C-alpha cells in the first residue's frame, strides 16, 4: 500500500500518525519506506533520533517537491510492502504529487471548528486527484478529547464532504504519542508502555487495512 497521511491544515498530528503507522508496520515485519514530504522534515528528524536508541531502523527519505516525490515513489514502490508519505500541512506540490501516486490518503483532523472547516480543502484536492488516480480518502478524529460532544460533532460534520469517508476510530490527545514520535519510537517501544495508546494505534491500523482489503 502507498499511504499518504495528509491535511492542508497544520497541527493535526500528521507526522505523529505517519511515524506510528510506519514504525508499527515495520515492527510487524513489513518492508516499509517512510517518505517525508514536509519542508519542516519532522519525520526525518524523528528517524534520525531513532538511530540513537539502538532500535532497528526503517528506510526514510525526504522529498518536498512534488515531481521528485512522485518520481521516486513510482520508481521504488516495488521494493517495499508499504510506503508511508508524511505530507506537509499546506496545499503543496508534495501533497499533490503524493495524492497522485497513493492508494489511500489518511486525513487526521482535530475536533475543532477550524480543523473541520479545513476539510473542504482536502475534499477538493481528493476530487481533483481522482481524475488521475484511484484514490481512497479516509478521515478520522485525531487528538480527540477524552470526553465531551466535540468528537461526535466533528465526525458528523464529515457528512458535508462525500468525497471523504469516516473511519470509526479516534486517537486521543495523549502526551505519549508526542514523546514516542519525538524519539523515533513506536508507542509499543516506550519504556513505560501505555496500553490504551497502543490499542488506539492498533485500531487505526486495523481499520485502515480493513477498508483497503475490502476495496482491493
Q: What is the mean pLDDT of residues 5-16?
A: 92
pLDDT at 215: 58
Looking at the predicted structure, is the pLDDT value of residue 178 above 80?
A: yes
Per-residue 3-state assignment (H helix, E strand, C coil) for 101-136: HCCEEEEEECCCHHHHHCHHHHHHHHHHHCCCCCCE
Higher pLDDT, 62 or 213: 62
Of 6-15, 108-117, 174-183, the range with the lowest mean pLDDT is 108-117
- If you average pLDDT over every residue of the chain, what do you get? 91
Using pLDDT thresholds of 50, 70 and 90, give the confidence band for residue 90: confident
Which ranges of the chain would DSSP assign to H, the alpha helix? Answer: 14-27, 42-50, 66-76, 93-101, 113-117, 119-129, 150-157, 175-182, 195-215
Q: What is the mean pLDDT of residues 33-49?
A: 94
pLDDT at 35: 98
Looking at the predicted structure, is the pLDDT value of residue 213 above 70?
A: no
CA neighbor of 123 nearest in space, from 110, 105, 111: 105
Question: CA 133, CA 171: separation in Å to the nearest integer?
Answer: 28
Looking at the predicted structure, is the pLDDT value of residue 58 above 80?
A: yes
pLDDT at 212: 62
Q: What is the mean pLDDT of residues 145-170?
A: 85
Q: pTM higher than 0.75 for the full model?
A: yes
Q: What is the mean pLDDT of residues 205-210?
A: 90
pLDDT at 216: 55
Instruction: Dig out the grid coordinates for 186 from the structure.
Output: 513506536
pLDDT at 123: 95
Contact call for residues 31 and 90 (beta carbons, < 8 A): no
**Check: CATH 3.40.50.300 for 2-215?**
yes
pLDDT tens profile 117-130: 889 999 999 999 99
Looking at the predicted structure, is the pLDDT value of residue 31 above 60?
A: yes
Amino acid at each position: 500500500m502507498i499511504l499518504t497521511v495528509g491535511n492542508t491544515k497544520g497541527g493535526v498530528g500528521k507526522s505523529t500518525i505517519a511515524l506510528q503507522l510506519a514504525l508499527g508496520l515495520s515492527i510487524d515485519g513489513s518492508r516499509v519506506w517512510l517518505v517525508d514530504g514536509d519542508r519542516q522534515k519532522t519525520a526525518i528528524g524523528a528517524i534520525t533520533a531513532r538511530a540513537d536508541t539502538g532500535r532497528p531502523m526503517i528506510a526514510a527519505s525526504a522529498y518536498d517537491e512534488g515531481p521528485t516525490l512522485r518520481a521516486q515513489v513510482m520508481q521504488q514502490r516495488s521494493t517495499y510492502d508499504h510506503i508511508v508519505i508524511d505530507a506537509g500541512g499546506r496545499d503543496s506540490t508534495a501533497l499533490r504529487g503524493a495524492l497522485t501516486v497513493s492508494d489511500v490518503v489518511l486525513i487526521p483532523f482535530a475536533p475543532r471548528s477550524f480543523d473541520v472547516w479545513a476539510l473542504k480543502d482536502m475534499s477538493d484536492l481528493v476530487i481533483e486527484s481522482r481524475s488521475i488516480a484511484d484514490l481512497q480518502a479516509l478521515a478520522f478524529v485525531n487528538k480527540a478529547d477524552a470526553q465531551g460532544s466535540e468528537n461526535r460533532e466533528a465526525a458528523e460534520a464529515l457528512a458535508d464532504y462525500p468525497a471523504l469517508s469516516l473511519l470509526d476510530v479516534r486517537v486521543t490527545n495523549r502526551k505519549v504519542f508526542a514523546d514516542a514520535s519525538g524519539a523515533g519510537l513506536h508507542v509499543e517501544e516506550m519504556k513505560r508502555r501505555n496500553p490504551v495508546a497502543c490499542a488506539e494505534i492498533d485500531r487505526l491500523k486495523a481499520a485502515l487495512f480493513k477498508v483497503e482489503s475490502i476495496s482491493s
